[in-house]
Structure 1
Amino acid sequence: MISLENENIRVTFAEKGAELRSITAKATGLDYLWKGDPAYWGKFSPVLFPVIGALKDETYYVEGKEYHLPRHGFARDHDFVFEQISDTEVLFTLSATPDTLAVYPFEFVLGLRYTISGFSVSCTYEVHNPADQHLLFSVGGHPAFAAPITDEVTYEDCYLEFAIDESLIYHKIDNNLISDQTDSLHLDKGKMFLKHSLFYDDALVFKKMESRMITLRNTINEYGLHFRFNDFPFFGIWAARDADFICLEPWCGIADGVAHNQQLSDKEGIISLSPGEHWKRVWEVEVF
């Protein structure tokens, strides 16, 4: 495991998928990340690239040619190149290979830069287009946080507190695709208490959310975290069936709609990066 630490926290990572694996507070020994129990869901915080969610029939087209990608793309299953920038910063990099070009016809350089400061960990997605054609991609996060964080707390004692007390409209999932059916999530003074049944029909997918920070708290003790995600247009909230975690997922991109034409250039939320250009977005978690 690769690690960063300061006087407050110790954070670990894996080269496979450049995946964040733990966020441990030194004073308490509490790990705020999900443990990755494969009986429920064996991942911790996968990166989603070059697509988010599912493609219709796992198929898309670029300039008339057919390609296939699994749900959430391939980056999470590849080993990244690791570079220690400083005592508080690491950079993981993945570049195009013949294998990726066979399923995704674009040159790219994807970076995940992790930085720690105080009780916070930030994850910066950095995408560079080294080619002479536009790069079409989506990228996003899927970090899973322990809920509860301590043993005396139950899942139902935990709640999400949104920075803005808003009525949230989420899109329902139909065979892994975004349907036109919506429902409302009504907050109670900005709070959404967790229930396993909330996610029995898959993730809650939001195309519009005014809150740029969500806090995970519980009614029993003071432990929790702040999750900040400026400049991500889409957001997902998910947990595996009856598992004690909550995924807070900032996305630049979204799964295909049920009526999508499968043209990558027409995909909702797709980013088109000009030749030679750089792009980045940041999310941050602060534990307490």
Structure 2
Amino acid sequence: MLQVIENDFLKISSSTHGGELHSIQSKKTNTEYLWNGNPDFWKYHAPILFPIVGKVKDGKYKVDGKTYELPQHGLARVREFSLKNCEDNKLTYELIYSEDTLKVYPYKFSLYISYELIDNNLKVSYKVTNLDDKTIYFSIGAHPGFMCPIKDNESLNDYYFEFNKKETADLMTLDMNVGLISHNTIPYLNNENTIPLHKELFKNDALIFKNLDSNLISIKSKNHNQSLSMDFTGFPYMGLWAMPTGCPFVCIEPWFGHADFVDFDGELKDKAGIQLLEIGKEFNCSYSIIVTE
């Protein structure tokens, strides 16, 4: 079921299925900024990644010596959430553990997602609560796709990513054969803050950064001043992705955690980037999408 909220600047819609955002539309120009979910390219709009980001090795992982299976990006994006609150400017959804989720993720949890309109900003918040009688372990991340180009007379080559600080940063690299992180890194940005967009940019899959100095990234055009930015303050990992075969969107993905390393064979609690949450505690994080016109 879709829910819609709007203010003077933006109109958004989201769904109980996956708690997923479906649309971010400008009230001023009627521009749609979020990817439309065309299954010929990619059927999602902005899935929530929980309790893993990316893949676990062979689709399997271990907790207390027992093996479980999870598909890429976990369970949240294919589960039905409950609508907990619907206000003029804010929507809140909850996914709570069940007998079904315990079969693939053996922890009792509650996951809240909220979408809040604040002028020309959309604030997306996640809250994970430990409802278990033991410490729980998880990763969480966002995977929104944004229309690129946003105008019919433009191409991908007219656009670029821009960070709000100069970066000297390496890329974490993916082994494309298995979709896992290798231990090799590649020098990528050298005191730079822009990445030109073009079809070949993602030929080796996602660009993955760790601990950037920036907390803001924008998608900008060479031809006009309309832009979309994301404030990802606090997220340790940033993935940038589009289909390597070419597509009319790009994804900006802030993460707490990442796919397994190619040689990882330990317990979930030992996984790189994993978050731990003690009994009764909450984990909170948020990012904001800013539309500038």
Whether the TM-score (by the shorter chain) exceeds 0.5 is yes
Q: 1:92 to 1:49 in 2, by over 3 A?
A: same
**Does the 8 Å contact 2:19/2:80 carry over to 1?**
yes
Provide the C-alpha distance between the structure 2 equivalents of 1:256 and 1:38, rounded to a whole number of angstroms: 27
Cα deviation for residue 83 of structure 1 reads 2.4
Counterpart residue number, 2:265:
261
CA distance in 2, matches of 1:146, 1:187: 28
Q: Is residue 212 of structure 1 aligned with residue 232 of structure 2?
A: no
Output the amino acid matched with 1:72.
Answer: H
Q: Is contact 2:168–2:191 with CA below 8 Å preserved after alignment?
A: no
1:192-237 Cα shifts (integer Å, max 9, x gaps)? 1101111121111112311110011000111111110111111100
Q: Which whole-Å CA distance do the structure 2 matches of 1:226 and 1:253 have between them?
A: 22
Distance in 1, Cα, partners of 2:187 & 2:238? 15
1:275 aligns with 2:279: yes
- Cα distance in 2, alignment partners of residues 195 and 187 from structure 1: 19
1:1-288 matches, cutoff 5 A: 1-174=2-175, 175-186=178-189, 189-240=192-243, 241-288=245-292
Amino acid at match of 2:39: P
> CA 1:32–1:266 in structure 2 vs 1: closer, same or farther (change >3 Å)?
same
Structure 2: unaligned runs, 5 residues or longer? none
The Cα of 1:9 is off from its aligned counterpart by 0.8
Q: Distance in 1 between matches of 2:185 and 2:273?
A: 18
How much is the aligned-residue C-alpha RMSD, in angstroms? 1.2
Gap change, CA 1:246 and 1:234, over 3 Å in 2: same
**Structure 1 portions without partners, runs of 5+:** none
Question: Separation in 2 of the partners of 1:111 and 1:40?
Answer: 29
Offset, 1:185: 2.2
How many Å apart are 1:86 and its aligned residue? 1.9
Task: Give the number of aligned pairs.
Answer: 288
Please give the alpha-carbon distance, in whole angstroms, between the structure 1 residues aligned to 2:10 and 2:121.
Answer: 8
SS at match of 2:238: strand
Per-residue CA distance 1:56-103 (angstroms, 9 max, x = gap): 111111111111111100100011001234211111100011111011
Distance in 2 between residues matched to 1:228 and 1:116, nearest whole Å = 14
Q: Report the Cα distance in structure 1 between the residues aligned to 2:110 and 2:153, rounded to whole angstroms.
A: 44
- AA matched with 1:64: G
Distance across 1 between alignment mates of 2:266 and 2:155: 42
Q: Distance in 1 between matches of 2:290 and 2:93?
A: 21
TM-score between both structures, scaled by the size of structure 2? 0.96
Identity %: 35
Output one character per residue of 1:19-75: Cα deviation in whole Å (capped at 9) or x when no partner: 111110111110111111111111110000000000011111111111111110010
The answer to whether the Cα contact below 8 Å between 1:56 and 1:262 also exists between their aligned partners in 2 is no
Q: Deviations over 1:82-132 (max 9, x none)?
A: 123421111110001111101110000001011001111011010001111
Give deviations 1:254-273, integer Å, cap 9, x for gaps: 10001112310100111110
- Aligned equivalents of 1:186 and 1:51: distance in 2? 27
More strand by share: 2
Write the distance in 1 (CA, Å) between the matches of 2:192 and 2:99: 52
